[in-house]
Structure 1
Amino acid sequence: MRVPDGAAVKGALLIAGTTSDAGKSVVVAGLCRMLARRGVKVAPFKAQNMSNNSVVTLDGGEIGRAQALQARACGLEPSVRFNPILLKPGSDRRSQLVVRGKAVDTVGAKDYFKHRQQLRGVVAEELASLRAEFDVVICEGAGSPAEINLRATDLANMGLARAADLPVLIVGDIDRGGVLAHLFGTVAILEPEDQQLISGFLVNKFRGDVDLLKPGLDQLYDLTGRPTLGVIPFAPDLWIDAEDSLGTVADAPVGRPRPPLGGQWLSVAAVRLPRISNSTDVEALACEPGLSVRWVEEPSRLAGADLVVLPGSKSTVGDLEWLRRTGIADALIARAAAGGPILGICGGYQMLARTIEDRVESGAGTVAGLGLLDLEIEFDDPKILRRAAGHTYAPDAPSSGIPVHGYEIHHGRVRAAGDRPWLELDGAPEGSVRGAIWGTHLHGALESDEFRRAWLREVAAAAGHPGFVVAEDVSVARVRDAQLDLLADLMAEHLDIPALERLITEGAPAGRPTLTVGK
């Protein structure tokens, strides 16, 4: 990729959004992939993320899953450099603060002020380091820059743009309606110095004839002096690696279900916990033909499911209480008694235990679990963060186990276990199996294709579906890469690439109009 005068692209850009889930993460991933395919040495950067969807990096920390996907788009391994600050909400008011991959505190909104100067330094150092190493750094904002009540402590939106002199593009989701007002209002509400860095707009998820939208975009330019650099069409096949909890909608299908290869479907009910974490674990199942995966929030939705998945949680004890309050706990117990398949992952695995001792996350002390596995869990510090690989448990012939890999992020430790282990990771037993109930702390295990296929055959047998046929050619990694390539194709086709190049290399144009509100 070259700018018009033939000089190589070198610089940085910030992608902000009118709202959460406007499309910032996918636009950054698409731009990163597009640039990487053209030979540009590019890296992603999100100064501060708030998400319970995280992954373990090679350098031993954790970052938001979106930044791991963006790193993959660049052809890079995930690193804490790409997301130096991560907030993991454990309640409506408190979040775990993760700095450079390690948990350092639990904070509320007011507590966060005491960290801001140190965190500004962390952000500045990491971004400067990336800009020195890479030709281009594509930064992602957080939430919306229009949250002016948070401007004083902002590290990821205009606070970052001002500190690093970054041009800013604002993404708006037209599928929600009101996108022109959102784009105009986002600029107008900012203080004049911030407005000068707003360099243009991107419209995301457009359906229909773009010629009908063009008069509105022309008026938006007349009102703001800022061009729209692209209108990205709605792409129904983009769904894997949903960053935001807004993507886990109750009763909505996960992915795009494809017809079964045999005569029977498998239906999967994934419990949409209030403090769900690593919801993307179930996406590997949704890649399979003949699997219908849905998020559920009430017990009747479990009745017809062939498999129920209890995913991870940032508040295991709190979400366990929610299971009891909603009646889902009773439905799970009845299901287990009838031999219905259940999978628990990380926090969901812990909820299946007989007891949970938690003086770290909730401070609740000893609480009763669902009692579906012979398991005792105790929460302790430090948090376990590791990438792990191994096999399914085969005590008599370890080499005959099916390979599996993934990562662990949890405070809970298994203090006693009476059921058969499910896996053997790095030489140690991990997880539990009792009848048609499986549990593990390992996130990402279902992305191991051979392992997932073998386990789905067990699930189908336990569910009484001999007509379900497991595909032999599904690769979750290939599905993920195909979606990144689709994103890159959309960016290349629908963005004003020369204008984008100029922004990256030259920065925000000077002399853009300042908008005023209420005058």
Structure 2
Amino acid sequence: MRGSLLVAGTTSDAGKSVVVAGICRMLTRRGVRVAPFKAQNMSNNSVVTLDGGEIGRAQALQARACGLEPSVRFNPVLLKPGSDRRSQLVVQGRAVGTVGAEDYLHHRHELRAVVAAELDALRADFDVVICEGAGSPAEINLRATDLANMGLAHAARLPVILVGDIDRGGVLAHLFGTLAILSPADQASISGFVVNKFRGAVELLQPGLDRLTELTGRPVLGVLPYAEDLWIDAEDSLGTLADAPVGRPQPPVGAEWLTVAAIRLPRVSNSTDIEALACEPGVAVRWVSDPSRLVGADLVVVPGSKATVSDLRWLHRTGIAAALRSRAAAGGPILGICGGYQMLGTRIVDHVESGEGAVGGLGVLDMTTEFAESKVLRRSVGYAEGIAVSGYEIHHGRVTRRGDPAWMTIDGAPEGSVRGSIWGTHLHGLLESDDLRRSWLRAVAAAAGRSGFVVAEDVSVARVRAAQLDLLADLIEDHLDVPAIERLLTTGKATDLPTLVTDAIAHPEHMDRRLTLSTWTDGSP
């Protein structure tokens, strides 16, 4: 089998990432050499690759689904929003500057060449490349600069599967409307539909699916059910809703639960760091954005941020900063990760990200952070309290003064800080080190007075993620038309159904004639 296709979505968070991961895992289990590809991503959830760059977290997960290490090849262009108008531009794993919408127009020709070359190379090296779109292909205001949706499909001659999330409501209109608003040339690339997160009897939905095929000439390739047990790396901030639980909390091993409040910063980055905690039985993790939600929590996590100073000011405006200081004074456990760690310090000097210079931190850890133009990008290994740990670093800030003991030694140098029941580190992914996580949770439970909480001895985050990928592959095999997807890969066609005459869908005034597929394709208007 050799071929490529693009999975697009009617909206952000429609299910593109998980469908790509599921197809990749399904084909890999069949012995096919598969690679994922997302030409352009916009996300603050990123990882460091073996080749020393950074890519979107979803593409790292998809690489794992293929049995591959993350590589900058799989996500050559990454935009990391630092505000509503400006994003850091990362090309082939390296930050090259900060851009707004107008600036980005000047880069489009260069970026298009980078994307095309990378996709061509992947197609030469692998049997199959499964591409993921970005946002929605219906964003026709961006079509001229599109690198990841119909622009990529047209340039690389990729058949497109369009995914819609029925849990949001109106999925049939979303699928039909997305197709209808596209140009005739782009419509020709849409080869089939997938409905995601369906609850209930498919028989009740079937008449609508049949009508969708009649109206568009495209088959519905399957209906993926809502899977209660499925929770994997969120692609962007849409997956980190305030007051929403993380994962599926399992009953505790001991007599008590351990509750975790993760602060939902406006520019939260690498929010997936807390998923390792949610893997533990008896640990209930929830995103919060209100100081009242910190009351009663056994542990508060201040996660990473793409706009550290801006998010620090948000902590003050919301009253969360005062709540954190009170908590620290009372000995309540707090964990700061990357930007969150920097906020817990006494002073931040930032002429790079915010340009505000010296800013006072929360002062619950004794340290100074200074931002540098160059970004630290590295995968790191070391020891914390005698336990082997690993993780990765993505940050501009450097600790220039540390008054508290270091938490660990990473690559031979001190890293992080500890003051009583307050911990901080620049390492993302640290809590995926199973032995360290267990030891640390015991310390957290003791500091929180949860003597009845017992840490499970057999939880492996790597195994949990592998099981999630296998669950995705099972859902694809059980609920999608896999032979049609294979034909789509090898021939560019999902079925032998004729392509819709695009003029018919482009003129809504014809719709009240209730024309059938046969009348549309025999040459009538």
Change (3 A) 1:517 1:105: farther
Q: Deviations over 1:257-295 (max 9, x none)?
A: 111111111110000000000000000000001111000
Equivalent AA in structure 1 for residue 292 of structure 2: S
In the alignment, structure 1 residue 328 sits paired with structure 2 residue 320: yes
In structure 2, the residue matched to 1:81 is: 73
Give 1:95 shift. 0.3
- Verify the 8 A CA contact 1:60 1:386 in the aligned structure 2: yes
- Verify the 8 A CA contact 1:188 1:517 in the aligned structure 2: no
- Verify the 8 A CA contact 2:217 2:499 in the aligned structure 1: no
In structure 2, the residue matched to 1:95 is: 87
Q: Deviations over 1:313-338 (max 9, x none)?
A: 00000000000000000000000000
Equivalent AA in structure 2 for residue 273 of structure 1: L
Q: d(CA) in 2 for partners of 1:517 and 1:285?
A: 52
In the alignment, structure 1 residue 22 sits paired with structure 2 residue 14: yes
Q: d(CA) in 2 for partners of 1:418 and 1:388?
A: 23
- Verify the 8 A CA contact 1:198 1:508 in the aligned structure 2: no
In structure 1, the residue matched to 2:330 is: 338
Give 1:149 shift. 0.3
In structure 2, the residue matched to 1:190 is: 182
- For 1:77, what is the secondary structure of its paired residue? coil
Q: Bigger CA drift: 347-356 or 493-502? A: 493-502
Q: 2:423 aligns with which of 431, 435, 438?
A: 438
Alignment: residue pair count: 504
In structure 2, the residue matched to 1:516 is: 506
Q: Deviations over 1:207-250 (max 9, x none)?
A: 11111111101100110000000110110111121112111111
In structure 2, the residue matched to 1:244 is: 236
Q: Deviations over 1:295-324 (max 9, x none)?
A: 000100001100000000000000000000
Q: d(CA) in 2 for partners of 1:183 and 1:79?
A: 32
Give 1:517 shift. 4.5
In the alignment, structure 1 residue 380 sits paired with structure 2 residue 372: yes
In the alignment, structure 1 residue 234 sits paired with structure 2 residue 222: no
Q: d(CA) in 1 for partners of 2:500 and 2:157?
A: 15
- Verify the 8 A CA contact 1:173 1:203 in the aligned structure 2: yes
Q: d(CA) in 1 for partners of 2:10 and 2:499?
A: 23
- Verify the 8 A CA contact 1:260 1:468 in the aligned structure 2: yes
Give 1:76 shift. 0.2
Q: Counterparts of 1:337-416 in structure 2 under 5 Å?
A: 337-393=329-385, 401-416=386-401
Give 1:508 shift. 4.2
Q: Percent identity?
A: 76
Give 1:518 shift. 4.0
Equivalent AA in structure 1 for residue 279 of structure 2: C
In the alignment, structure 1 residue 454 sits paired with structure 2 residue 454: no
- Verify the 8 A CA contact 2:382 2:411 in the aligned structure 1: yes
In the alignment, structure 1 residue 47 sits paired with structure 2 residue 32: no
Q: d(CA) in 1 for partners of 2:356 and 2:482?
A: 54
Give 1:206 shift. 0.6
Q: Counterparts of 1:61-80 in structure 2 under 5 Å?
A: 61-80=53-72
In the alignment, structure 1 residue 145 sits paired with structure 2 residue 137: yes
Give 1:408 shift. 0.1
- Verify the 8 A CA contact 1:15 1:170 in the aligned structure 2: yes
In structure 2, the residue matched to 1:421 is: 406
Q: d(CA) in 2 for partners of 1:511 and 1:365?
A: 59
In structure 2, the residue matched to 1:281 is: 273
In structure 1, the residue matched to 2:475 is: 490
Q: d(CA) in 2 for partners of 1:36 and 1:54?
A: 24
Equivalent AA in structure 1 for residue 87 of structure 2: S
- For 1:110, what is the secondary structure of its paired residue? helix
In structure 2, the residue matched to 1:505 is: 490
Q: d(CA) in 1 for partners of 2:172 and 2:360?
A: 51
In structure 2, the residue matched to 1:5 is: none
Equivalent AA in structure 2 for residue 472 of structure 1: E
Q: d(CA) in 2 for partners of 1:110 and 1:170?
A: 29
Q: Alignment RMSD, CA only? A: 0.8
Equivalent AA in structure 1 for residue 397 of structure 2: G
Q: d(CA) in 2 for partners of 1:162 and 1:135?
A: 20
Give 1:154 shift. 0.2
Q: Deviations over 1:42-66 (max 9, x none)?
A: 0000000000000000000000000
Give 1:512 shift. 3.4
In the alignment, structure 1 residue 106 sits paired with structure 2 residue 98: yes
Q: 2:461 aligns with which of 463, 467, 476?
A: 476
Give 1:513 shift. 2.5
**Which structure 1 residue ranges, 4+ long, deviate > 3 Å from structure 2?**
508-512
- Verify the 8 A CA contact 2:218 2:499 in the aligned structure 1: no
Q: d(CA) in 2 for partners of 1:160 and 1:371?
A: 48
Q: d(CA) in 2 for partners of 1:25 and 1:500?
A: 17
In structure 2, the residue matched to 1:396 is: none
Give 1:32 shift. 0.1
Equivalent AA in structure 2 for residue 447 of structure 1: E
Q: d(CA) in 2 for partners of 1:78 and 1:485?
A: 18
Q: Bigger CA drift: 342-351 or 498-507? A: 498-507
Q: d(CA) in 2 for partners of 1:219 and 1:465?
A: 57
Q: d(CA) in 2 for partners of 1:346 and 1:340?
A: 20
- For 1:340, what is the secondary structure of its paired residue? coil
- For 2:354, what is the secondary structure of its paired residue? coil
Q: d(CA) in 2 for partners of 1:517 and 1:230?
A: 28
Q: d(CA) in 2 for partners of 1:513 and 1:134?
A: 34
Equivalent AA in structure 2 for residue 512 of structure 1: L
Give 1:511 shift. 3.9
Equivalent AA in structure 1 for residue 400 of structure 2: R
Equivalent AA in structure 1 for residue 501 of structure 2: P
Q: 2:253 aligns with which of 245, 254, 261?
A: 261
Q: d(CA) in 1 for partners of 2:121 and 2:170?
A: 39
Q: d(CA) in 2 for partners of 1:417 and 1:497?
A: 56
Give 1:466 shift. 1.1
